[in-house]
Structures are given as C-alpha cells and as structure tokens.
Amino acid sequence: MKMPSVAVSAKGLMKWFGEGPARTLAINDASIDAWHGEMLYIVGPSGSGKTTLLSILSGILRPDAGSVLVEDIDIWKLDSDALAAFRLKTLGFVFQDYHLFPRLTTVENVAIPLILQKRNWDEALGEAMKMLEVVGLETRAQLPPVKLSGGEQQRVAIARAIVARPDILVLDEPTASLDGDTGRRILGFVREQLLSEQRCILVVTHDARVFDYADRILHMEDGRITGLEREAR
C-alpha cells in the first residue's frame, strides 16, 4: 500500500495571548501531521485552542514557538508577501464568521479566489456559478450576501473556499448554521470532490452529526493535543 504523504506538519507549537496576569497559554506544545487525501477533524471543548491551532497551521496567526511545514515549506519563515502568495495558491478557508464581502454579489464573492489567481473574469464567474449550483444557491447569485440567511452565507463561504481546488482546505465550524441534512450533504460533497484529488481537509467542529466523515479525529484540551482517533470508514 502506498504511504500517504504529509500535507501539513507542525512541531512544538506554542501560543500565548495577553500580558501579565491575563496571559493565557492557548497552544501548549502541539505537534501534528495531516496527510494528503484525508479529512482530519480537530475537536475539543470551547476554549481548548482549536481555532488558534487552525489559524497557526494556515498561516494566519504567528506561533510564539514551533514550526509549520505546508507542502514542505516552512511557512513562518516566509516574509509577509510570500506568505500571502502562498496562502492564496495553496489554501482555502471557511471562517466561523464567513468573511463575505458585502459590496459584491454572491457569485462575485465565490469568484474572488479565481480572480486573485488572475483568471479571466467571465470564466471565474462561470466557475463560481457552478459552485453555487452545488451548494444549492444558484437563485441567489446576484444578491448581496446580506440578503442571505446565516446558513446560506455559510454555504457561499464553502463554495468560495473550494472553487479554486486548494491543496489544503481549512474549515472552522463549517456546519454550525446548517441543518443536519444540508451540513452532511455539503461536507460529503467537499470530501468526495477534494479527497479524490488527494487534497487535505482540516475541520474544526462541535457537530457530532458530521463526525463520521472524518478519517482521523484529533482531540484538544487546554491547548494540548490529548488524543488521536482513527475513524473506521
């Protein structure tokens, strides 16, 4: 059997927030390897450090110690321009609060990663439209995101994150505003589409309804990684 290759490898991560008596250790000596072709979940109680870890792994938040290799590149040694270019080329994100652009239409929001990669505007809008069909929002394409419900905005954020087929997809509570069926359908689609291309998907979630999509589940508590389960798939 072919061994999976490592997509993201983090070693000895530490992260503190705040100063003096309010200083909090958010990540305490965390190390992980995530592989191409797997969906790796990060679960744990509120405040255990899941979002902080995801932000460090995806080049958004600088750790105080430790290293992160993504596709063999030591991302925290890149300068800020190189890191931004690398994130654009390699990573797709869905944040907890979606980060949609209010002045753009829904379809333009989904097209953004393709436009930033210098794809032709009409072609980018065409691809974005196909993604909106997948998440069931083609009739909302020309509306601004504020006209959409929370669950619809979450689906737009997911469509935008996968439209450029990123090597690594990072999802923070991707099903929080979705009903059970929609959440499962969309995560199932993401899994099927991206894992068949050997992409790596990192998911922070509390949503037990979608746990069975995970290949492995990493548990966190008080900033530490306390366990790793392999799901029987």
Ligand X SMILES: Nc1ncnc2c1ncn2[C@@H]1O[C@H](COP(=O)(O)OP(=O)(O)OP(=O)(O)O)[C@@H](O)[C@H]1O
- Residues in contact with ligand X by CB under 6 A are 17-18, 24, 26, 44, 46-52
Contact 133, 154 (CB under 8 A): no
Closer residue to ligand X in complex, CB, 22/146: 22
The angle subtended at Cα 57 by Cα 175 and Cα 100, nearest 5°, is: 45
Q: What's the CA gap between 202 and 8, in Å, rounded?
A: 10
Question: Least separation, in Å, of the C-beta of 57 and ligand X?
Answer: 12
Question: Least separation, in Å, of the C-beta of 95 and ligand X?
Answer: 11
Closer residue to ligand X in complex, CB, 39/57: 57
Closer residue to ligand X in complex, CB, 18/180: 18
192 burial type by CB count under 10 A (0-12 exposed, 13-18 middle, 19+ buried):
exposed
Question: Least separation, in Å, of the C-beta of 52 and ligand X?
Answer: 3
Closer residue to ligand X in complex, CB, 48/175: 48
Question: Least separation, in Å, of the C-beta of 221 and ligand X?
Answer: 9
Q: Indicate if the alpha-carbon torsion angle 203, 206, 210, 213 is positive or negative.
A: positive
Q: What's the CA gap between 69 and 209, in Å, rounded?
A: 31
